Structure 1
């Protein structure tokens, strides 16, 4: 499958039971809701989420379950966030072996690689894997920026095709487009900048709150791309208090609370994460409750 690198691609949460095992039944329910809403791809193992807590066999199980359920209708993309080049190569090999169609890839974790080391790291995976790659550029959370000059080198590999743009600098979309045209596809990686990014020319949106609100998320994308800006803006303004729950250290707990409210998940997280408590729990619950109460009627948005 060739990946078009456009549209809404949920970075899906990992579902757990109260016994801290994978909850594949709820995971499949959520995936089906995403597909019914019209998402354009599924991303497994988001790094700010719980992927770093998963055992290798659990990652394999999630890939196999997703690939089987999606059944070639949309691409399955596996995130790579490893400490070593050896680990990244192994993760890419595992993703390909079990049927994933693409990779989303961060620079090396923990060690703050310089520009040359970062380029070589990405290049080694591009050399050894057939899967297309979306570079995850998030210097705010991970401390390493993949600059345009670095992309100039990386784009010598045909499999490096897209960027998850999370610099928080909207003008970077225009810089990328001016320099590389359509050679490098751009997907917004920050929920609270999604509509602005789409209007600036981004091709898609790697989303978080989509896990609880898939139809609203896809509607914003489709309406914006169809030029129905006021309709998209009305939904986006309603959505913003929820989207702000994604730019928070407890984003996983926040999103899982929202999933409970829409019947698409549970609050079970893997320690050291714990469900929200006290005043913060009340604050988040109030935001979710108000949003559910005022949930908008959506216009027809599917193509």
Structure 2
């Protein structure tokens, strides 16, 4: 398991009858593989994990594992309120064929330093799967501090962090303090260029769901030092990337997916599809950017460099 490259946090596709839309999920998954992603993450915020049943998670993981055929690892996100439920999810992920876990701090309870570290250690001790911690204090109210990471260095299978503090400097802080002990993946689309240039090893991306080729191209160009080419894509991409930092990122990104033929707008309640002026404004921006979508360089040719 190499925590580097582009890991899309895939959306969960639903039918009009509110069941899993597996054919549409497969279409998007294939587009990600064709673009050259390094792994896929299921059941994250974009995946609407909080409204998925265990049976639906099982279906998605097993289907993805079968379709990727070992080309890239399938990672399952764990976002649970109880430690024992997180441990149970970790065990199920292994049974279903996942090759790694993304792990949030406890949900719905603001754990302190000791509780947060104990939670992570307990889940990690229950599995041999490699784990990427998700550090997002903006949305989930618990920061995984450098002091916490100090204690977690002793846990061999805690290998990486999805860096979503929205503080670009944290990449440098982590590298200065821990070297290569933890792989760092940018978790905020609007900071992709900056964090990759600062030394992040990859990214967990959102708009990649609609624009897989542009996202992988951006990553590879930055890592190859082709900054001018990368910046041209990044500047075009930015209005779209900003959809990732909105409270309705699921609805907005699904709207973008629908416009490029890689998804639909269907979400699961209590979320509702956006309507009226809100939808028109987001749709107008998406269409404006599609009208000037850039031609990409042959980014796949530089794969060996990254």
Match of 2:143 in 1: 145
Distance (whole Å) between structure 2 residues aligned to residue 135 and residue 47 of structure 1 = 14
Give the Cα separation in 1 of the matches to 2:197 and 2:25.
32
Which of the numbers 128, 134, 137 marks the counterpart of 1:136?
Answer: 134
Give TM-score scaled by structure 2 length.
0.97
For 2:5 and 2:220, the matched residues in 1 are separated by 8
CA contact (8 A) 2:12 2:46 kept: no
Is residue 10–residue 46 contact of structure 2 (8 Å, CA) maintained in 1? no
- Out of 34, 44, 62, the position equivalent to 1:64 is 62
Task: Trace 1:183-262 onto structure 2 (pairs within 5 A).
Answer: 183-262=181-260
Query: Counterpart in 1 of 2:266?
Result: 268
**Deviation string, structure 1 residues 161-201 (Cα, Å, up to 9, x no partner):** 00000000011100100110001100000000011000000
Deviations 1:105-151 (Å, cap 9, x if unpaired)? 00000000001000000000111101000000000000000001101
Q: CA RMSD in A?
A: 0.7
Which structure 1 residue ranges, 4+ long, deviate > 6 Å from structure 2?
A: none
Structure 1 position 26, deviation (Å): 0.3
**How far apart are 1:47 and its partner, in Å?**
2.7
Separation (CA, whole Å) in 2 of partners of 1:115 and 1:279? 44
**Which whole-Å CA distance do the structure 1 matches of 2:50 and 2:153 have between them?**
28
The answer on 1:112 being equivalent to 2:98 is no
Question: d(CA) in 2 for partners of 1:113 and 1:261?
Answer: 40
> Residue 24 of structure 1: which of 19, 22, 25 is its match?
22
Gaps of 5+ in 2: none
Partner SS for 2:10: coil
SS of the aligned residue for 1:161 comes to strand
CA contact (8 A) 1:165 1:187 kept: yes
Aligned position for 1:42: 40
Residues in 1 aligned to 2:273 and 2:147: alpha-carbon distance in whole angstroms: 42
What secondary structure is seen at the aligned counterpart in 1 of 2:299? coil
- Counterpart contact for 2:11–2:250, Cα < 8 Å: yes
